[in-house]
Amino acid sequence: MNKDKPEKTKYRVLVDGGKCMGCGTCEVVAEKTFKVGKITEIVDQDGNSDEEKLLAAQSCPEGAIEVWEGEKKVWPK
């Protein structure tokens, strides 16, 4: 078991490919969740903690990342 990886997180992230500029900030903040190439992929919804995923979304300069907890949208508010 990978000790650095949270077992199960509450938040699910979505990337709007139409808004994403590929700047890579999300990958810097939550590097086990996002992979930025020609498009930004979500490689593992549980790769980082909820706090890191939320911070990645809040740091996105294009507002391209949504964070959901079940049916509730956590970000953007």
Q: Is 54 in the site for another protein (CB under 8 A)?
A: yes
Q: Going by C-beta distance under 8 Å and a sequence separation of 6 or more, which residues neighbour residue 69?
A: 10, 11, 12
Q: Of residues 20, 29, 36, 65, which one binds another protein by CB under 8 A? A: 29
Q: Is 43 in the site for another protein (CB under 8 A)?
A: no
Nearest-5° Cα angle at 7, 1 to 23: 105
Nearest to 66 by CA among 2, 18, 5: 18
Q: Is 25 in the site for another protein (CB under 8 A)?
A: yes
| Interface residues toward another protein, by CB under 8 A | 21, 24-25, 27-31, 52, 54-55, 58-59, 61, 75, 77
